[in-house]
Amino acid sequence: MHERLSYYVKRDSALHRLNPLTKAVLALTIILITFFNIWYWTAHIALLFFIIPLCFVGRVYREYFGTLTRLILPTAGFLFIMQALFQPIGETVIYQFWVLDVTQESLAFAFLVATRIAVMISSFTLFLLTTHPSELMSDLTRRGLPGQFAYVIISTLQILPQMQAKAQTIISAQRARGLDTESTFLKRAGSLLPLVGPLVFGSLVEVEERAIAIEARGFTSTHVKTSLHDVPDTSLDKVIRWFLVALVIITLMLKIWLS
Amino acid sequence: MAIVNLQNVTYKYPLTDSPVLQNLNLQVNEGEFVAVVGPNGAGKSTLCYTIAGFVPHFFKGELTGTVEVAGNESSKSSLHEWVLNVGLAFQNPFNQISGAKYTVFEEIAFGLENTGVPRDEMKGRVEEGMKLTGISDLADRSPYSLSGGQQQRVALTSILVMQPKVLVLDEPTSQMDPIGTREVFGVIRTMAERGMTVILVEHKMEWIARFADRVLALHEGQIILDGKPREVLTSDLLVEKGFGISRYTSVARKAKAMGLWKNNELPVTLDEAVEGFKK
């Protein structure tokens, strides 16, 4: 059940071989450009001609299309409907629903917002699918991110599912002793109280033990840390990163200049 | 020359009235495999934390007397230097998983990354460690997906690869089946033969009798017996003070009372019991 704790899919591809920071910059660049470029079709082009081909380059298209149908399309679809119905702009009414007007302009705006959100989630999905979290953290630590900070991020990601599982165990245990979890809302809300104590205090005790465990493994050692994973940072990576940064700067300048 | 040297150690946790360790003296030689037995609340875990430097550096509280390992005094060193000499693995395996790593291999390498071991040497040590404890086939699994016994092996391996001079283990086999326990005791024995000093808290008397060099009986923060495994584990004092004893010892003790046990010495293991009853 907890076998897969990250989205990362282990494949061999040009995208996988890129430095994690390059991939992070790539994901952010795509998002920034879609949000700040003034041309209407930027987001659509980014999705169709960058992200989807990149999924094929990274050989994670199956996983990406899975996320697309389960998460991205429903989210974007919902946003599209909401924006189309409630955006009070435009005169050309296409469709009337109760007191709400769907205009040509609101439809166009809704389509843009939905695509932008789709690009944002897609971009992050692609990043997560092709980047191993430990590699990202060792790379960032090597670049000067404090070890404690990296630990907090990564352990939080891992510990959340553990906490959920534990909450479930406590509920089952309390239920076995006659706790009511299935009647009216108020009663059920009240019945959550006995869960809070064991979960919170249990976690505090655990924190102490975990602190001892990582301390025993030299976590606060003053040695220069080494890393198990060799995370290559090639000159190609550097070129790509500077190119992407330049693209973002140009986009932002255009945005400021033209508006 | 004693590598671990405790002189008149008395320790009180913060906000408590009575000391957990009372005027305790202990010398352990290099390469010795010492087992510690005692009822709940005897101070076994506190003794482990004291030797491993977590008392007083982590738990604060009041420590008097001196704790020395390899010539250094714990109150005068910092904890992060201390853990390089003394490795600690404890009972609950789940909380010993760092939570920062996605595979068992990475998990075991965590301590080596922190202490700056070069990459090639790190990989070699992790592979060797996993082979020794029999978990090579788990290398790519998530540490959270393992059973309690497997996690305990990972926790033990994580400390072994750091190659401490002294290994302190607080019930490292509590979630293992008999076969796993035997294997892990074998590993600990091997480490002791290679010169690592081992201090092990354990309830499994038969395994202690088979593998340890020396046994300490701890009661209310004091060492009440210290000697060869058989002498300590079959002592009448253990029964008087409410220690758990091996089932073979209990049977032979009853048999002796009924005149069915002819030997002077009581057994601790199954083999010894069988031999004794044959006579």
ipTM of the complex: 0.89
C-beta atoms of A211 and B106 within 8 A: no
Note whether B30 and B129 are same-domain residues.
Answer: yes
Contact with chain B for residue A222, Cβ under 8 A: yes
E strand or H helix that includes residue A237? helix A235-258
Same domain, yes or no, for B202 and B260? no
Does residue A254 fall inside a structural domain? yes
Closest CB from A4, A150, A230 relative to B119: A230
Residue of B nearest to A210 (CA): B95
Give the global pTM. 0.81
Query: Alpha carbon A95 to chain centroid distance?
Result: 35
- Give the nearest chain A residue to B105 (CA atoms): A228
Chain B interface with A: residues with Cβ < 8 Å: 49, 52, 54, 58, 79-80, 83-84, 87-90, 92, 95-102, 105-106, 109-119, 122-123, 126, 141-142, 144-145, 155, 158-159, 162
Number of domains in chain A: 2
Looking at the structure, tell me whether residues A116 and A167 fall in a common domain. no
B90·A212 Cβ contact <8 A: yes
CA distances, B118 to each of A178, A228, B21, B125 (Å): 56, 9, 40, 11
Chain A environment of B171 (Cβ under 8 Å):
none
Contacts of A28 (CB under 8 A, 6+ apart): A123, A248
Could you tell me if residue A211 is inside a domain?
yes
User: Residue A228's closest CA among B161, B71, B13, B173?
Assistant: B161
Residues of B in contact with A154 (CB under 8 A): 99-100
- Residue of B144, B151, B156 to mutate for A, most A C-beta atoms under 10 A: B144
pLDDT value for B87: 96
CB pairs A-B closer than 8 Å: 122
Distance CA B113, CA B115 (A): 6
Nearest to B115 among A206, A221, A230 (CB): A221
Its domain, for residue A93, covers 14-138+233-258
Residue B165: which CATH number?
Answer: 3.40.50.300
What is the DSSP code (8-state) at residue B269?
Answer: S
Residue at A56 is within a domain: yes
Question: In terms of domains, do B253 and B231 share one?
Answer: no
Which residues, given as ranges, of chain A have pLDDT below 70?
A: 1-5, 181
Mention every residue, 6+ apart, whose C-beta is less than 8 A from residue B49. Answer: A212, B55, B58, B59, B88
For residues B198 and B188, is the Cβ–Cβ distance under 8 A? yes
Let me know whether B227 and B275 are in one domain.
no
Determine whether the interchain pair A228/B117 forms a contact, defined as Cβ–Cβ distance below 8 Å: no
Which residues of chain A neighbour B106 with C-beta distances below 8 Å?
Answer: 134, 228
Is the same domain home to B107 and B200?
Answer: yes
Nearest to A213 among B49, B96, B112 (CB): B96
Among candidates B88, B101, B159 on the partner chain, residue whose Cβ is nearest the Cβ of A134: B101
The answer to whether residues B85 and B29 belong to one domain is yes
Which one of A166, A217, A220 would you mutate to disrupt binding with B, by most B Cβ within 10 Å of its Cβ? A217
* Tens digits of pLDDT across chain B (279 residues): 799 999 999 999 998 889 999 999 999 999 999 999 999 989 999 999 999 999 889 998 899 999 999 999 999 999 999 999 999 999 888 889 988 888 999 999 999 999 999 999 999 999 999 999 999 999 999 898 899 999 999 999 999 999 999 999 999 999 899 999 999 999 999 999 999 999 999 999 999 999 999 999 999 999 999 999 999 999 999 989 989 889 999 999 999 999 888 888 899 999 999 988 887
Contact A5 B110 (CB under 8 A): no
pLDDT of A3 reads 44
A43 in any annotated domain:
yes
Of A5, A213, A224, the CB nearest to B98: A213
Chain B nearest CA to A137, separation (Å): 10
From residue A49, how far is each of A13, A42, A82, B43 by CA, in Å? 19, 10, 27, 67
Beta bridge partners of B214: B34
Contact B90/A209, CB-based, under 8 Å?
A: yes
Instruction: Say yes or no: A88 and A187 in one domain.
Output: no
Token pair in block for residue A229:
């994973």
Residues B81, B143 share a domain = yes
Name the residue among A158, A210, A228 with its Cβ closest to that of B119.
Answer: A228
Q: Which residue in the block uniquely carries the two structure tokens 């978990």?
A: B135
Write the burial class of residue B7 (CB in 10 Å: 0-12 exposed, 13-18 middle, 19+ buried): middle
Question: Using a CB-CB distance cutoff of 8 angstroms, which residues of chain B are in contact with residue A166?
Answer: none
Residue A232 contacts B where some CB pair is shorter than 8 Å: no
Residue from the list B92, B100, B113 with its beta carbon closest to the beta carbon of A155: B100
The Cα–Cα gap between A102 and A244 comes to 38
Query: Quick one: closest CA in A to B84, which residue?
Result: A218
Q: Are residues B79 and B160 both part of a single domain?
A: yes
Most distant CA pair in chain A: distance in Å? 69
Domain span at residue B278 reads 246-279
To the nearest whole Å, the CA of A152 is away from the closest chain B CA by: 8
Residues B266 and B238 in one domain: no
Q: Residue B105: list chain A partners with CB under 8 A.
A: 228
Which of A228, A229, A230 would best serve as a mutation to test chain B binding (most B beta carbons within 10 A)?
A228
CA distance B244 to chain A (A): 26
Q: What angle do CA B37, B41, B43 make, to 5 degrees?
A: 65
How many domains, chain B?
A: 2
Residue at A96 is within a domain: yes
User: B76 and B141: one domain?
Assistant: yes
Give me the helices (H) in B86-143, please: 104-114, 119-133
User: What pLDDT was estimated at residue B113?
Assistant: 93
Q: Are residues A108 and A156 in the same domain?
A: no
* Residue (of A259, A232, A244, A202) closest to A16 by Cα position: A232
My answer on whether B236 and B254 are in the same domain is no
Residues in chain A, overall count: 259
Angle (deg, nearest 10), helices A133-142 and A20-36:
100
Interface membership of A6 toward B (CB under 8 Å): yes
- Only one residue has tokens 């992200």, namely A51
Looking at the structure, do residues B215 and B254 belong to the same domain, yes or no?
A: no
Asked if A68 and A179 sit in the same domain, the reply is no
Say what the pLDDT of residue A2 is. 40
CB contact under 8 A, A3 and B145: yes
